């Protein structure tokens, strides 16, 4: 059976996973009476809740006696490490573009990686049925993007399909025909995508995806470059520098067949398979026959730009909500995550009780924290900090991002003002249809931490911001942080409605009556610049004197709901987010008020 390997790459919410659903359905991968969930490739809970693809995943369909291996990739640049690895496994890519939004920054990120590898893409204009679709302009934008990314003449001569993934059709023209479903896409894949490149020699495969299975142990997925492999065959694992990581035996070979992974008796060259039986081999290692001495060269991964400190939760409420609370357990979990996620970097801090975790962006780190809290972990997490570098001459460099903001014209002034306060340089301002403008900036990552919420407030929820790492450039100087101080609980106990009601003029609260608080915990935002210690446990003094006027019922203003991402962006450098399976609390790094004042004095003296 001949074979094709293809990836689907697109921006967040441009319809990748929905299109894969329809490709599977129309190829006969499901039984007629089979119940199938929507966005079937978004397999974990976080992907389903947020509607974004976080992990790259493979599937396969058979069309006209040809097996087509399809890899669904994340659209968000924070998960770019997933994308960079899987592009090694495929020979072409379908670039899916929204007919209204056009190519966005994340599309640019993945397409640039694909073009550098020499892949010849197919462009699919999705959602042509939208009322604000602008098909011709979007095709011109895609061509301009390819040209800007130094595409070759062959790559610029890309075939184009139009359609709607949701309605399940693609055609050579925006008008249709729609009755053929996705058959034109399958036929174009067979015609345009080359057969897998097969090299001579014994079995070799580079590890691309890593996962743990409770029955089979460690499972590594990759594409077989040369030779064949069978269960019980002896193989060895080579690291990037050519040293042997381990030798072992393949216990099982699994291939993607529709949504299932089925055991097979032989892995053939060009196929994407998973192998089990090894305990140390990881992503970017070469799995090969014992006679092989030279590893396959892995693609270089872009460096992490944002770091956070993960530490043991040492608050008075530690251990009351989670069951994984010790340093050793947290350490093991973080290093296990770094094995499979090449975009993450874990370092042990000098105090041995905390770990510096570096990644591509706040979203990637927030997803890791959310996953850990659902597994029962309790953590203290610091504010995200950017990873700074120095060039050869000793000049300080910081990560700069390309930021694209789509906003209504009436709100564009405040967006430009706020971005300039964050030391951003505006590159472009152009209309994007429907009284909306597209603003393009180069902005330091430091200034963008925490800006998403402020942007939505300023634009009444109408702005859409997309970010992409651009380059390391000279440090842009100080950027102003949060202007307001915080309200800090001065005692430990349960918050009382009467006390919260009396404190409302001091600033908005973040807690509700009955919530447990402790000394040093942040309970609200102060209306002024300084921090203020408050007593949220103070109830009303009751007397036996009767009065004719009835007591006023206490009516509280609803508190600010602090989500994980919002908390990470909102806290200051001397504050932490306490994350448990049931709660997200904000607190000062030093809980004792006297110690806190002493520490601030020392910092002021040093400065």
Length of the chain measured in residues: 607
Beta strands, E only, 277-416: 286-288, 306-312, 345-348, 354-359, 379-381, 385-386, 389-390, 396-408
- 129 in a known ligand binding site: yes
Q: Which of 534, 533, 489, 497 is nearest to 514 (CA)?
A: 497
**187 carries a ligand binding annotation:** no
Which residues contact residue 32 at a Cβ distance below 8 angstroms, ignoring those fewer than 6 apart?
Answer: none
Is 127 assigned to a binding site?
yes
Rounded distance between C-alpha atoms, residue 293 and residue 509, angstroms: 63
Cα torsion 262, 263, 265, 267 to 10°: value is 70
Q: Is 277 marked as a binding-site residue?
A: no
577 is in an annotated binding site: no
Does the annotation place 126 within a ligand binding site? yes
Angstrom distance (rounded) from CA 308 to CA 349: 11
> For the residues of 128-180, what is the DSSP string, one character each?
TTSTT--HHHHHHHHHHHHHHTT--HHHHS--EEEEETTTTEEESBTTB--TT
Q: Rounded to whole angstroms, how far apart are CA atoms 402 and 109? A: 11
Q: How many CA atoms within 13 Å lie on the side-chain side of 219?
A: 16
SS3 296: coil
Contact call for residues 212 and 221 (beta carbons, < 8 A)? no
208 DSSP 8-state letter: -
Phi, psi of 44 (to 5 degrees): -100, 165
- Please spell the DSSP secondary structure of 70-117, one letter per residue: EEE---SGGGHHHHHHHGGG-SEEEEEEETTT-S-HHHHHHHHHHHHT
The verdict on whether residue 470 carries a ligand-binding annotation is no
Angle of helix 183-192 versus helix 16-26 axis, rounded to 10: 100
CA–CA separation, 303 and 430 (whole Å): 31
Nearest CA-CA partner of 250 in 215, 276, 279? 276
Q: Does the annotation flag 116 for ligand binding?
A: no
Sheet containing strand 66-72, edge to edge, reads 57-63, 66-72, 2-10, 92-98, 122-126, 160-164, 169-171
**Rounded Cα gap, residues 319 and 312, in angstroms:** 10
Binding residue ranges: 13-18, 126-129
Binding residue ranges for GTP: 13-18, 126-129
């Amino acid at each position: 059976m001949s074979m094709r390997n293809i990836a689907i790459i697109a921006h967040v919410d441009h319809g990748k996973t929905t299109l894969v659903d329809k490709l599977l359905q129309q190829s006969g991968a499901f039984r007629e009476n089979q119940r199938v969930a929507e966005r079937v490739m978004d397999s974990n809970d976080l992907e389903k809740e947020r509607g974004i693809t976080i992990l790259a995943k493979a599937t396969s369909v058979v069309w006209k006696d040809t097996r087509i291996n399809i890899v669904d990739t994340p659209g968000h640049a924070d998960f770019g490490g997933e994308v960079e690895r899987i592009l090694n496994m495929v020979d072409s890519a379908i670039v899916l573009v929204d007919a209204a939004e056009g190519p966005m920054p994340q599309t640019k990120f993945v397409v640039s990686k694909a073009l550098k590898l020499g892949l010849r893409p197919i462009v699919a204009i999705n959602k042509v049925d939208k009322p604000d679709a602008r098909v011709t302009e979007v095709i011109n934008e895609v061509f301009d993007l390819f040209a800007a990314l130094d595409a070759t003449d062959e790559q610029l001569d890309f075939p184009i399909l139009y359609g709607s993934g949701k309605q399940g059709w693609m055609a050579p023209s925006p008008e249709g025909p729609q009755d053929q479903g996705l058959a034109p896409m399958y036929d174009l894949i067979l015609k345009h995508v080359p057969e897998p490149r097969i090299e001579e020699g014994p079995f070799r495969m580079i590890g691309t995806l890593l996962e743990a299975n409770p029955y089979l142990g460690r499972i590594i997925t990759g594409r077989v470059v040369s030779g064949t492999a069978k269960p019980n065959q002896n193989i060895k694992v080579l690291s990037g520098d050519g040293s042997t990581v381990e030798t072992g035996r393949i216990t099982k070979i699994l291939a993607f067949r529709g949504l299932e992974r089925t055991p097979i008796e032989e892995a053939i060259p060009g196929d994407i398979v998973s192998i089990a039986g090894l305990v140390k081999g990881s992503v970017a290692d070469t799995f090969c026959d014992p006679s092989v001495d030279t590893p396959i060269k892995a693609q270089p991964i872009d460096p992490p730009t944002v770091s956070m400190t993960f530490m043991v939760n040492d608050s008075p409420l530690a251990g009351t909500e989670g069951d994984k609370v010790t340093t050793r357990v947290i350490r093991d979990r973080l290093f296990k995550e770094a094995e499979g996620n090449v975009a993450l970097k874990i370092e042990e801090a000098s105090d041995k009780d905390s770990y510096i975790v570096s990644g591509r962006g706040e979203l990637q780190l927030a997803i890791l924290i959310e996953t850990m809290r659902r597994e029962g972990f309790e953590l203290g997490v610091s504010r995200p900090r950017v990873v700074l570098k120095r060039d050869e001459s000793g000049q300080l460099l910081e990560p700069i991002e390309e930021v694209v903001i789509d906003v209504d014209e009436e709100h564009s002034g405040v967006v430009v003002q706020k971005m300039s306060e964050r030391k951003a340089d505006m590159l472009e301002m152009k209309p994007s249809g429907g009284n909306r403008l597209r603003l393009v900036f180069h902005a330091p990552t430091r200034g963008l931490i925490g800006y998403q919420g402020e942007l939505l407030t300023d634009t009444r929820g109408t702005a859409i911001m997309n970010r992409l790492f651009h380059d390391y450039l000279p440090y842009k100087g100080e950027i102003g942080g949060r202007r307001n101080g915080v309200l800090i609980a001065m005692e430990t106990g349960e918050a009382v409605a009467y006390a919260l009601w009396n404190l409302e003029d001091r600033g908005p609260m973040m807690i509700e009556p009955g919530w447990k608080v402790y000394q040093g915990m942040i309970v609200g935002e102060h209306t002024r610049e300084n921090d203020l210690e408050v007593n949220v446990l103070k109830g009303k003094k009751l007397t036996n004197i009767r009065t004719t006027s009835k007591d006023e019922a206490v009516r509280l203003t609803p508190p600010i709901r602090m989500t994980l991402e919002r908390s990470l962006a909102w806290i200051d450098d001397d504050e932490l987010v306490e994350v448990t399976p049931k709660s997200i609390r904000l607190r000062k790094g030093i809980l004792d008020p006297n110690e806190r004042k002493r520490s601030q004095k020392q910092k002021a003296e040093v400065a």
